[in-house]
Structure 1
Amino acid sequence: MTLHGEMVFPKLSRFDRNQEPCSLALPLPAGALSNPENFSIWDGDRALPCQTTVTSRWPDQSVRWLYVDFLVNLPGLKEKRLSWRLEPSKPPREGSAAVVVVDGAVRLESGVATLHLSSPGDILELRTGLVADGASERLLGDCHHPFWEDDSGTVWKAVLDQDGWQVVSPGPIHAIVQGRGKHQSEDGRRCFDFQLRLHAYAGKPWFQAEYRLLHAEEEAELLVRRIAWRWQAARPLSSAGQRAVARSNYRTQTRELSGNDGILEQEIDADWLLFESNEQMPETHYGTFWGDWREPGQFGLCLTVFQAQQIYPKALRVGADFLEADLYPASAAPLVWRQGIARTQRLLLYPHAGDLPLADANIRSLQYQMPDRPVLPASCYQQADVLENVWMNTSYQPLEAYLVQLADRRLRAYGMLHWGDAPDMDYTTQGRGRGKFVWCNNEYDMPHAAMLMYARNGERRMLDYLLVAGEHQMDVDVCHYSPNPHRRGAQLIHSADHVSGGATPSHQWVEGLLDLYHVTANRDALETALGIGENLLLLLQQPSLQQPGGSSARETGWALRSLLALYRETGEQRWLDESKKIVQQFHVWQEEFGAWLSPYTNHTLIRVPFMIAVAASSLMRYYWLTSDAAVGELVVKAMDDLLAHTLGQDGRFFYKELPSLQQRGAGLYVLESLAYAWDLTRDAKYIRAGMPQLLATLAAAPNYGSGAKYAQENAVIWERGLSPKAFAMYSMPLLMFGRAAAEAGLLVDDSTSGNA
């Protein structure tokens, strides 16, 4: 059993980063680690300070996923290699972060800076203190507070609820507190839920704020004119005061203002994005956006908005006695915020000495936008057995290149509620949005597809694709509130405005959300996945889903995949019990009709290869968990039936069995289920049957798009290729079939000809 391993920090900054706060999400095999205290990270022969959180356990209660915060010295212009061991250590204590409660008052400490937090029931305010060279705390007399403004001009300030602050992580490396509440107007009305999560890091003067807004009101829509985070200084700047605002793409452009007259402003809007060239993958980095206020010889504050360009519009205003970040500026058209939608935005709050060079503030801001992340070898994920078996025994470069291009060359959308998703132009041109964009809503689980790619190739941007898409799914694609219980907690189907569609079992996915939880330890992702599960349990009670043949095979097929993922994650029997009902239904369906036939016209029941393949692939996941031989036989029968009835003479599968629908277009999920038939039988006929489709797919290069940008529906669209649905839909089938074909000896890499 593996008791140690390595990680590498790729070369990133040209500057040394001393005691840099970093994190690691480590998968472990069953039985390897029971007590997280028996874990350590080493830099050569020196143990590093670290803090562990178990995010998932195996059925034997050993650790499946371990999230680790640690401090490390990273050299400029060099990579850094560390090792991890399943053994305890006693690293030297070098400062600590903590949540401190004294007489009911809560403060967040890093050892060199402090945030004093407001009391339950009060307007949410944060006050800053600095500690220099072991001296006593120096309170700055300042105040941070968030608010929003509606279309009538009413200002709503965040008010902490009576539950007050909850400790998410006590430290000592990374301390986190969280508070919830509603915004309140001056006349006492309350509207718009919020969650504020605050982070402190040992020995560092900066704090991260995660401000999440959620529309849980009875109104179908709220018109938002402005959302802002305001920092109010205790007194105005003197005539020697300094202010600056900055934004960057390639090199940071900084504007400065001396003295205490006027207001310094900076904005990012659609026009700026349309006419600015950016060649970076924006999930990993686009640029930065910060404002700074300082009194020389005393103190200052630098505030950075995370991914401001991507989640545009944004604005900064720095006055003589304040610094404001407009998370949605009043200069933009009012934002229609629909019921059930949430959105998280992040800021770096950096109180500093008044003589801190602006260049240093800029470097920290850039580091915040693109932090160092350690990379584990693919063998670590493979040996831990925490993901599907997508590990090939030979490299087939045409397949690898195709998948990387699909992942990278995607349609993207910048915008407050759009970043992390994109419209699907096929759905849109079909008229499904009645003239508006039809947003994918992360259909087919884009986050999980990105996780699989990251585990296989270790390329940093794949992890960032997971983080960005997963957060959009968690915030926007899932309905967090509705008076309709069939919508509440559901991931909504691809639709206009993200949420105009309904909820159905065939369009809800949780594996990527669970990945997001494992790699970030953010329990919002886990709770969102569990909420989807609760919604599925309710939807599955509908009469059409209780009878075999009452719906398409994908309806309960996709639901089965999500329920099984939740069972693996939690071990709760109810998820498996509901899965057993679905499995039994597929048995009866097969016996009654001879195949998983679906209703189409009023007088037909037909085979739909794509939907049957989805069901077979989900049943295979049940087989992995239970080793139920009868389920394995069911998968093989389904594939034999498809080969007999839906495979054309050209070696490709029909779209649907009906004579009017026998054009080729079954998609690639049939390849995944053929791979499982191979796994169960070791009969190469299933691989040979899928090879024409595989080779035809790889021979047709993905649509790379024009690269054009245009503004529409409060979004800036970047036409970089197909919608994210394509990557999400193709990756698992191609990986599974490629792996099986390599095992069968039918996939041989020939780099010169590209033939198999």
Structure 2
Amino acid sequence: MTSRVAARWVFFSLLFFGPVAVSQVWLGAPVYVQNATDEARVQEPVASGLCFPAGNNYIDPNLDFELVDGNGNSVPVQFKVLSRWWGPRDDASFATKWALIEFLADVPANGTGVYFLRQGTRAQGNLSYQTLPGEIVVSTGAADFSVDTTQFTLLKDVQVGGVSVTGGPGGLIVHDVNGTSIDSVLTETLWEEQGDVRAVLRQKGSIGSLGLNFTVRYTFWTGRTDVKVDFRLENNNANGELPYLGSSIGHAWFEDLTLVLHGTDTGADVQLSDGIRDTNGGSWTLEQDYTSPNDALHMLTGFQLRESGPNINSVQQDARADGTVALRGAGSSLAVSVDRFWQNFPKGFSAAGDMLAVDLWPAFGNGPEFGGQWGLPSGPVTDPLSLDYYRFEGGRWKTVTLNLDFRQGVFSAAELTHRAKALEKPLMALWSPEYYSKSFAFGTLLAERRNWNKVSNNRYERMLDVLARDDAADNQPSLGQIGLPGFRERGGTYGGRQMYGWENFGDLAWGDGFCSNHYDLVWGVLVNYPRTADYSFFDIGRDLVSHRRDYDQNHTQDPSAQRRGGQYYEKGYWHGNYGAPAPSHTWVHGLLVWYVLTGDEGAYEAAKEVGEFVARMHPESWDGWWGSRIPGWQIEVLLNLYLYLGESTYLSTAQQAMGNYEQKEQASGGAGYVLNPGWTSNPHAQTWMHCIMFNTLGKYHLMTGDPSVLPLMGRMADWIVNQVVLEVPTGPPSARTTGKVWGRYAPGWHQDPSVHHQWVTIESLSYAALCLHDNAYMMLARSLWESVTRYHQESPNNGSPHNYNDASTFSPIAFRMMQYPNAETKVMSNVALWGQVFMAADAIWDNTF
């Protein structure tokens, strides 16, 4: 395929989404439902985002489609529009881009269920509703749930078969540092979704003198006796300890926070997945805590499980509970499962009489034990209250997901085990990976996984795999096979770093504290789920995105906090405490992908906050200081927000920012770069930052077809080729040098040769080939790619030739690498971020896309 034909293929097939094959292949194509557990799933919920092709005329998929199983039987189904092509999700004049498909599926153990979407009249579910004075009643056909609208009671009543299986309203119990019980006040109840298959009811409230708030989402399904509850604790006050984050400190300290349910039997027993506790209504507790690991490289051994009750007094080391417990009464039972229970220690359950308490922040815990803006975990604690109580900083969120189930009769041990597994690994539905690569629904070029028949591309696929699986890593001497999961379990680079706990889980440690999922590691992991259909990417990705959504972003609503809505900076042992959120370190694409894959409204809310943050940073007025990545990342954020949320202000601001950048480039001489005057003794450009800006321009051009950016891209591409690329691999494959690029540039001056920065440079060359229709850019990108995928851990000072045919000479593939100790999170997030466009371009050039 010629370069011009290749570019036109991208332009017309992806920009305008015109080919009939792309538009029609999905209709009638299989919808695959994945079950990642070892137990069969029968009539269990599926809520997954599916993308629809551009050019469709489907405004409300509920009016156009039915879902059938493999036998052709119509299945009750419901859709919720999440995103529209080039317009806001609530504007019905725009076609559907992403919609949440919602239904109950049957899937074999460790297997896949196959369903088909086709035009027709959908089968409906049995959900119905009553709005009564002071309550809303949701009837699923299997149970009736009553939710109080005057005060927060969790659930006011639940009936199964017309009989109450709860002993009265539940509630929220919170104690302050003085042990005083703090009342909660309900401030809002509204429907986020109200259908006949699935419904989501949202409640908001405040927790009195603590200054905390909460959001609760209840998800009901047709034909089921359980309800999913997402409880989000919020501190909407200012942080106040960091610059630009408010004029006063708005942290909250408290002793405990517990959700409470009541059964119908004051003499109830407790049941776990390993058996029944004959408590007969006596006091019982289960405490998931952490002490000290056996050694610094085996962090899981530090978990401790304590249980006490009538004739029970047990302490188990290296023990982790599955987070499921049932209150077993004479006539009815209720069961509670807490997602990621032990991972977010401390957690607990307690029971007495007819009460079952879910200790989300139990009284035996505390922290995080804060050591100050510049502190180390080994240093003195500067917040003495955090030694005894929970410290919940201004601007933070934390969400806990629970499943509550009710029945007449009892749950078996096997049923409780099943509940824990089902909550830990929810069913997910996907199109085939090939469709995602053709749809451009993620706003960037992607190529589905395949056997590439190329050493370089297959190695890159394995580099991505280590983000989700240890078995994809090479077995390194003295280290073993370490992917991202193993990196977390071993305690980081050298061990001993705690990546579990309610404030840590989902973030990763590196040399400067915690990384706050920098360089959009969330995107780098999650996007590989639809492009590979490998559930492990979804599984690890949801841990990362939960932290990114809740704890790695400043959510304060205090108008004095200029940097509110930004992602916390990548440095600091208490998740961004080193400095305020910065436009150079805020990303949003991972949040948006999670939103369209799952319908998570929390991710939607967080993404909107990021947009407001960027607007306050005014990228259209960037002054040219401190590197081109500052406008580059901000424009990237705006383009991604426009692609998924469809609001035109995002696009117009991005266009203004690009115009401003070109003015700065012209003022620097019009040679494709902007010198940073912040380096007063030697104003220069950091080359990789310019590549970030260039990649944003390339994305914009493929997205819109706007030719106005092409002259600027041409000048920047020439500069990259002539001044950034230091060494192109030369010699025969058996004795070939490795590629290198310069890290810093000023006219007549270069510094910092780099192997690693080839990744972002290759992405720039790939965009240059696609947008500027020049085959030479692609050939150069391929040459560097063949080098960096084999020798990504090579020292830039090594000029010796290598045997590109000898796999024993290649750099090991692993998350814990030898060349970049304590920088693994940055290196691997960069690798994941800056390879997808090349892979797609390479396939286009080979006519195999």
Question: TM-score normalized by structure 2?
Answer: 0.76
Q: 1:721 to 1:519 in 2, by over 3 A?
A: farther
Quote the residue 1:181 is aligned against: 205
Quote the residue 1:110 is aligned against: 140
Q: 1:23 to 1:314 in 2, by over 3 A?
A: same
How far does residue 16 in structure 1 lie from its aligned partner after superposition?
4.4
How far does residue 276 in structure 1 lie from its aligned partner after superposition?
4.2
Query: 8 Å contact 1:99–1:175 — kept in the other structure?
Result: no
Structure 1 segment 205-244 matched on structure 2, within 5 A? 205-217=225-237, 219-233=249-263, 236-237=266-267, 241-244=268-271
Quote the residue 2:447 is aligned against: 391
Quote the residue 1:711 is aligned against: none
SS of equivalent to 2:288: strand
Matches of 1:256 and 1:720, distance apart in 2: 48
Q: 1:548 to 1:449 in 2, by over 3 A?
A: same
Quote the residue 1:158 is aligned against: 184
Quote the residue 1:701 is aligned against: 812
Matches of 2:717 and 2:397, distance apart in 1: 41
Q: 1:552 aligns with which of 615, 627, 630?
A: 627
* Structure 1 unaligned residues grouped into runs of 5+: 247-252, 279-285, 429-436, 708-718, 749-756
SS of equivalent to 1:488: coil
Q: 1:380 aligns with which of 435, 439, 452?
A: 435
Quote the residue 1:492 is aligned against: 568
Matches of 1:104 and 1:209, distance apart in 2: 20
Q: 1:584 to 1:31 in 2, by over 3 A?
A: same
Deviation digits for residues 576-597 of structure 1 (CA, Å, limit 9, x no counterpart)? 2211211112222222213222
Query: 8 Å contact 1:548–1:586 — kept in the other structure?
Result: no
Q: 1:217 to 1:402 in 2, by over 3 A?
A: closer
Q: 1:34 aligns with which of 42, 49, 59?
A: 59
Matches of 2:32 and 2:445, distance apart in 1: 24
Query: 8 Å contact 1:338–1:499 — kept in the other structure?
Result: no
Q: 1:720 to 1:55 in 2, by over 3 A?
A: farther
Q: 1:316 to 1:455 in 2, by over 3 A?
A: same
Q: 1:414 to 1:628 in 2, by over 3 A?
A: same
Matches of 2:219 and 2:291, distance apart in 1: 31
- Paired residue type of 2:159: L
Matches of 1:260 and 1:587, distance apart in 2: 73
State yes or no: 1:53 paired with 2:80: yes
State yes or no: 1:423 paired with 2:509: yes
Q: 1:304 aligns with which of 329, 333, 337?
A: 337
Q: 1:404 aligns with which of 465, 470, 481?
A: 465
RMSD of aligned residue pairs (Cα, Å): 2.9
Q: 1:571 to 1:361 in 2, by over 3 A?
A: closer
How far does residue 523 in structure 1 lie from its aligned partner after superposition?
2.3
Query: 8 Å contact 2:632–2:693 — kept in the other structure?
Result: yes
- Paired residue type of 1:579: A
Matches of 2:122 and 2:567, distance apart in 1: 45
State yes or no: 1:692 paired with 2:784: yes
Bigger mean CA deviation after superposition, 483-492 or 63-72: 483-492
SS of equivalent to 1:479: coil
SS of equivalent to 2:774: coil
Deviation digits for residues 278-327 of structure 1 (CA, Å, limit 9, x no counterpart)? 9xxxxxxx97212211123x111111111112211111112233211211
How far does residue 71 in structure 1 lie from its aligned partner after superposition?
1.8
Quote the residue 2:100 is aligned against: 67
Structure 1 segment 459-474 matched on structure 2, within 5 A? 459-474=534-549
Deviation digits for residues 435-480 of structure 1 (CA, Å, limit 9, x no counterpart)? xx2x211211122222321121110121233332222221111111
Bigger mean CA deviation after superposition, 61-70 or 405-414: 405-414
State yes or no: 1:81 paired with 2:114: yes
State yes or no: 1:452 paired with 2:527: yes
* Structure 2 unaligned residues grouped into runs of 5+: 1-22, 87-92, 239-248, 304-319, 367-388, 470-482, 489-498, 728-737, 792-810
Count residues in correspondence. Answer: 693
Quote the residue 2:375 is aligned against: none
Query: 8 Å contact 2:83–2:646 — kept in the other structure?
Result: no
Q: 1:337 to 1:11 in 2, by over 3 A?
A: closer
Deviation digits for residues 125-157 of structure 1 (CA, Å, limit 9, x no counterpart)? 42232222xxx3436323321233233222223
Q: 1:289 aligns with which of 323, 344, 366?
A: 323
Quote the residue 1:735 is aligned against: 836
- Paired residue type of 1:615: M
Q: 2:191 aligns with which of 158, 164, 167?
A: 167
How far does residue 389 in structure 1 lie from its aligned partner after superposition?
1.2
Aligned-pair identity (%): 20
Quote the residue 2:805 is aligned against: none
Matches of 1:391 and 1:368, distance apart in 2: 31
SS of equivalent to 1:662: strand
Quote the residue 2:158 is aligned against: 129
How far does residue 341 in structure 1 lie from its aligned partner after superposition?
0.2
How far does residue 667 in structure 1 lie from its aligned partner after superposition?
5.3
Structure 1 segment 212-361 matched on structure 2, within 5 A? 212-217=232-237, 219-233=249-263, 236-237=266-267, 241-246=268-273, 253-254=274-275, 256-271=277-292, 274-276=299-301, 288-296=322-330, 298-333=331-366, 334-361=389-416
Deviation digits for residues 470-513 of structure 1 (CA, Å, limit 9, x no counterpart)? 22221111111145331222222213222422122221222222
Quote the residue 1:670 is aligned against: 761
State yes or no: 1:97 paired with 2:127: yes
State yes or no: 1:364 paired with 2:419: yes
Bigger mean CA deviation after superposition, 96-105 or 334-343: 96-105
Query: 8 Å contact 1:245–1:316 — kept in the other structure?
Result: no
Bigger mean CA deviation after superposition, 481-490 or 58-67: 481-490
Query: 8 Å contact 1:705–1:722 — kept in the other structure?
Result: no
Bigger mean CA deviation after superposition, 556-565 or 378-387: 378-387
- Paired residue type of 2:788: A
- Paired residue type of 1:129: V
State yes or no: 1:4 paired with 2:28: yes
Deviation digits for residues 140-193 of structure 1 (CA, Å, limit 9, x no counterpart)? 3233212332332222233211xx310111121111111111013xxxx35211
Q: 1:288 to 1:57 in 2, by over 3 A?
A: same
Q: 1:260 to 1:630 in 2, by over 3 A?
A: closer
How far does residue 554 in structure 1 lie from its aligned partner after superposition?
0.6
State yes or no: 1:648 paired with 2:734: no
Matches of 2:112 and 2:605, distance apart in 1: 36
Quote the residue 1:599 is aligned against: 677
Matches of 2:824 and 2:321, distance apart in 1: 24
Matches of 1:35 and 1:232, distance apart in 2: 40
Deviation digits for residues 16-74 of structure 1 (CA, Å, limit 9, x no counterpart)? 43322212311111123333120221113111101110111113711100111112233
How far does residue 518 in structure 1 lie from its aligned partner after superposition?
0.9
Query: 8 Å contact 2:263–2:332 — kept in the other structure?
Result: no
Deviation digits for residues 540-571 of structure 1 (CA, Å, limit 9, x no counterpart)? 27xxx725533411101110011112222333
Question: TM-score normalized by structure 1?
Answer: 0.85
Query: 8 Å contact 1:291–1:323 — kept in the other structure?
Result: no
